[in-house]
Amino acid sequence: MTESHSLILFLDVLEHSPLDDSEKAELKDSAEANGVSQELWARFNDRMISSLVRNRGRYSRWRSRLDSEVARYTAEYESEKSVIDRKMMDDLAAVESEEDKERLWQEYGKRIGVLQKKLLAEVRDTSQTILKDAFRVMVGGF
C-alpha cells in the first residue's frame, strides 16, 4: 500500500470513528505531518478503546435510568390499580343483579384501560427522551 493510500485509509477510518472532534483533529494533523505509522495506528486504537469504554459507561447509566423510570411508573400503576381493584370488589359486593355486575366490569375495564394507556405513554416518553439523549451523544462523537 502506498503512503497516500495509507493516509487516505487512515483519514477515512478516523473520520467515521466515534472519537471527539479534538481527538480526530490531533490524529489527522499527526498523520498529515508525519505519515501513518504503526505508532499512530496504536494511538488511534488506544483512543478508540477509551471512547468505547466511556460509551459503555454512558449506556449503563441510560439503561439504569430507563429501568428506574419504568420501575417507578410500574409502581405507580400498581398502586393506582390496587385502589381501582379494591373499589371494584366493594362495588361488586354491594350489587346483586348480573346486569349491575356486568356494568361494573365494563367500567372497571375502561378504568384499567385508561391506566394502562397512561403507563404506556409515560414509558414511551421516558424511553424516547433517553434515546434522544443517547443519539445526541452518538452523533456528537460519544
Model confidence, pTM: 0.54
Which set of grid coordinates corresponds to residue 78?
400498581
Nearest CA to 62 among 118, 116, 121, 136? 136
Residue-level pLDDT at 80? 95
**20 phi/psi in degrees, rounded to 5:** -65, 155
Residue 126, pLDDT > 80, answer no
Apex 126 CA angle, 120 and 129, nearest 5: 135
Residue 99, pLDDT > 60, answer yes
Residue 117, pLDDT > 80, answer yes
61 vs 109: which has the higher pLDDT: 109
Q: What is the mean pLDDT of residues 20-34?
A: 93
Which set of grid coordinates corresponds to residue 29?
494533523
**41 phi/psi in degrees, rounded to 5:** -60, -40
Residue-level pLDDT at 141? 46
By mean pLDDT, which of 38-42, 89-93, 100-104, 133-137 is the weakest? 133-137
Residue-level pLDDT at 138? 54
141 vs 109: which has the higher pLDDT: 109
